Amino acid sequence: MTLSIVILAAGQGKRMKSQIPKVLHRLAGKTLLEHVVTTASRLSPTTIPIIVYGHQGDHVKRALSHLKATWVEQTRQLGTGHALQQVLTHIPDEDQILILYGDVPLIAVETLQKLLAAAKTDSIGIITAHFPDPTGLGRIIRDPQNKIIRIVEEKDASARERTISEINSGIYVIPASFLKKWLPTLSNKNAQQEYYLTDIISIATQEKFPIYSHESYQYEEVLGVNDKIQLAAVERFYQRQWANRFMQQGVTLLDPNRFDVRGDIIIGMDVIIDVNVIIEGNVKIGNQCIIGPNTLLRNVTLGDYVTIHANSVIDGAEIAPHCVIGPFARIRPGTKLSEYVHIGNFVETKNSIIANATKINHLTYIGDSEIGTHVNIGAGTITCNYDGIDKHKTIIGDHAFIGSNTSLVAPITIGQGATVGAGSTVTRDAPAEQLTISRAEQRSIIWQRKTKK
């Protein structure tokens, strides 16, 4: 079977109450439309998917220019049937057309594969679902032999028809040759004065054209997003699916309802993740790690036995085994921590390589630095790496000791085993194995402090 996939994404989305086109709203860090295109590509279609765009179309195309797709514009939004008419010239007669939607982001690849397997070249395949509350959705109408004979939109449904819980997902697979014959015959004599794609079901019934259905395993996968409430519901379902998957793999989530994945993640064994942890980008977590509450991990690799304490942000970093980070630490891109490094509370690192067993435990900024093994950096230390134009490097040798409240003005090298006295501003290289100190002489002066009257 040769397969073409059409994704309808032209709607305005008035109920979103937003200036952002509906298909550009985000689910788990990616736009709704990106989710659908990713699913479509996994079905190995004959050609790249065709996206029918319309409302704020230029905005949508610019935002998603990286997608491999053929873009076809629907200049006037006159319904799903009218939208499909715009793409027929791009599709060979012998193809099967799978119709997806830019605002139905969670349809599973496995569900679509079962639909395609059931559909034949001389039939229509439909995905249906039973909703606990089908309000606002088109209903599946069956005859006494349980065959689908038509689909009715809620605005056009009778009171009895509205009691039906089986809904039309809108996802079909249809032979292109028949679609090209039927679409021009559609009428817009309905409550919304639109050309409904659903009307082809009645046409197919009249022509005794076989109609097959496949019911989705979970109705949530065919949920459409029409407002912010539905967007939130889809987000929670998506996140709970991820949470369940990880817990089945042995991950301990202290509250599965407060765990968010917005990228791709690989998690090892016996990992404990506390509440409100957010995963973004590409993240790999090793075995027996502990991730504290309110932590953000973005494009991070964590080795085994890493502990991240509460309220830390780890972004674009490589963390070796047995490191301890936080609480309230910020690890920025370009940071590489070797084994047994401790990064403490209110410490920020950026573009720095920190070797084994070094400790930076309090209120410190380390940027553009290379720090050796077993270094101790005292509270309040900063690397002064930026002169307003260029960034400069700080190098600290093995076993150095940097006293509290020290400013290291880069470019600078602190030698192996060197000690820098607390409160120093160091502007020249500090020799190895020596004490370097730079501070004003302490004096005590008799004086009278002014007081308010």
Domain ranges of the chain: 3-222, 252-436
Q: Report the alpha-carbon distance of residue 118 to residue 171 in Å, rounded.
A: 14
Q: Which CATH superfamily is domain 252-436 in?
A: Hexapeptide repeat proteins (2.160.10.10)
Percent helix, percent strand, percent coil in the chain, to nearest 5: 20, 30, 45
Name the token pair of 89: 């010239």
Name the token pair of 391: 């960034």
Task: Exactly one of 362, 374, 392, 399 is catalytic; name it.
Answer: 362
Strand partners, 131: none
Non-local (6+) Cβ contacts of 394 within 8 A are 366, 367, 368, 369, 370, 383, 385, 408, 410, 411, 412, 413, 414
Q: Report the alpha-carbon distance of residue 67 to residue 61 in Å, rounded.
A: 9
Instruction: Calculate ∠ Cα 52-53-55, nearest 5°.
Output: 150
Report pTM.
Answer: 0.88
b or e along 136-173 (b: 16 or more beta carbons within 10 Å of the residue's beta carbon)?
ebbbbbbeeeeebebbbbeeebeeebeebebbbbbbbb
- Identify the pLDDT of residue 421: 96
pLDDT (tens, 9 = 90+) of the chain, 453 residues, equals 689 999 999 988 889 999 999 999 999 999 999 999 999 999 988 889 999 998 888 899 999 999 999 999 998 888 899 999 999 999 999 999 999 999 999 999 999 999 998 877 788 999 999 999 999 899 999 999 999 998 998 888 999 999 999 999 999 999 999 999 999 999 888 878 889 898 898 898 899 889 999 999 899 999 999 999 999 999 999 999 999 999 999 999 999 999 999 999 999 999 999 999 999 999 999 999 999 999 999 999 999 999 999 999 999 999 999 999 999 999 999 999 999 999 999 999 999 999 999 999 999 999 999 999 999 999 999 999 999 999 999 999 999 999 999 999 999 999 999 999 999 999 999 999 999 999 888 889 998 888 887
Is 90 one of the catalytic residues?
no
Name the token pair of 368: 């553009």
Given 3.90.550.10, 3.40.50.150, 3.40.50.2000, 3.40.50.300, which CATH number is that of 3-222? 3.90.550.10
Count of C-beta atoms within a 10 Å radius of residue 290: 16
Q: Within 13 Å and on the Cβ side, how many CA atoms surround 431? A: 3
Q: Report the alpha-carbon distance of residue 13 to residue 23 in Å, rounded.
A: 8
Query: For residue 232, which phi and psi values (nearest 5 degrees)?
Result: -65, -40
